[in-house]
């Protein structure tokens, strides 16, 4: 980034491009800078919603998340010029951005990752076509309310969280060519309720899964002959 332009001049570059529609070379002549400087400033703004290069950019979620109204207010404070929120929304779509919520992903420690890799390496050559995997799963409702504007075709940003406010728990199982019924969990799980989950989830498949191996979480492997 060419440093001879002040922050105010960099915002002037953004205004000339987005509000007045000048081309890159016209902006360069007006601002007495190079074509590449204009390109760099616009690219930085496109990626970070700012004209100042931040240390560590590229780590985490770098997509803009301010609303059109917030951007309009911030632009007015910086330049003294008013741009309507609708104009900002139009430019976002014209530049190929869409609004999304983040994808929630649980935090994994290095120990968790190492254990998963070791399991895969140990059983990589086993026949998995007659193995049933079952587990409970808590689905978390996105309560952050944060919307990111990302280019079309890009994956959604990821938010790592360890606490949630809203959730629903379900039980289910999958195997090579089928899946169980989905069972919604109410309250705590114990031995009796787990048997009920199995009955509700696998009852309609019971005749089709004889001589299968069944595993749930990390217990010892069990053969379905015993379960029957």
- List the domain range (segments joined by +) for residue 60: 7-95
The answer to whether 201 and 172 are in contact (CB under 8 A) is yes
Whether 165 and 61 share a structural domain:
no
Same-domain check for residues 18 and 50: yes
**Shared-domain flag, residues 15 and 75:** yes
Could you tell me if 128 and 219 lie in one domain? yes
Query: How far apart are alpha carbons 201 and 181 in whole angstroms?
Result: 4
Across 10-25, average pLDDT? 86
In a shared domain, residues 18 and 78: yes
Are 172 and 63 found together in one domain? no
Cβ of 204: how many Cβ atoms within 10 Å?
Answer: 10
Together in a domain, 128 and 216:
yes
| Structural domain total, the chain | 2
Q: How far apart are CA 214 and CA 226, in angstroms?
A: 10
Q: What is the mean pLDDT of residues 181-188?
A: 86
Q: Which of 61-70, 152-161, 169-178 has the highest mean pLDDT?
A: 169-178
Query: Does residue 1 belong to any structural domain of this protein?
Result: no
Whether residue 181 is found in the same domain as residue 72: no
pLDDT at 7 over 60: yes
The reported pTM is 0.41
Is residue 17 over pLDDT 50? yes
- Residue with more model confidence, 93 or 33: 33
What CATH number is attached to the domain comprising 130?
A: 3.30.420.10
């Amino acid at each position: 980034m060419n440093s001879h332009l002040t922050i105010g001049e960099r915002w002037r570059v953004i205004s000339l491009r987005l509000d007045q529609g000048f081309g890159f070379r016209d902006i360069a002549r007006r601002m007495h800078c190079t074509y590449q400087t204009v390109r760099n400033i616009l690219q930085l703004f496109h990626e970070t919603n700012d004209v100042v290069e931040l240390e560590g950019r590229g780590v985490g979620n770098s997509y803009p998340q301010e609303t059109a109204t917030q951007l309009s207010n911030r632009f007015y404070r910086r330049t003294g010029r008013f741009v309507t929120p609708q104009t900002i929304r139009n430019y976002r779509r014209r530049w190929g951005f869409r609004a999304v919520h983040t994808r929630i992903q649980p935090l994994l420690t290095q120990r968790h990752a190492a254990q998963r890799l070791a399991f895969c390496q140990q059983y990589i050559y086993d026949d998995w076509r007659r193995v049933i995997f079952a587990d409970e799963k808590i689905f978390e409702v996105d309560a952050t309310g944060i919307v990111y504007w990302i280019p079309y075709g890009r994956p959604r940003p990821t938010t790592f969280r360890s606490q949630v406010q809203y959730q629903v728990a379900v039980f289910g199982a999958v195997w090579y060519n089928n899946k169980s019924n989905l069972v919604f969990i109410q309250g705590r799980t114990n031995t009796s309720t787990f048997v009920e989950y199995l009955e509700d989830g696998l009852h309609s498949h019971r005749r089709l899964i004889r001589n299968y191996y069944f595993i749930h979480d990390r217990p010892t492997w069990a053969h379905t002959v015993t379960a029957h």
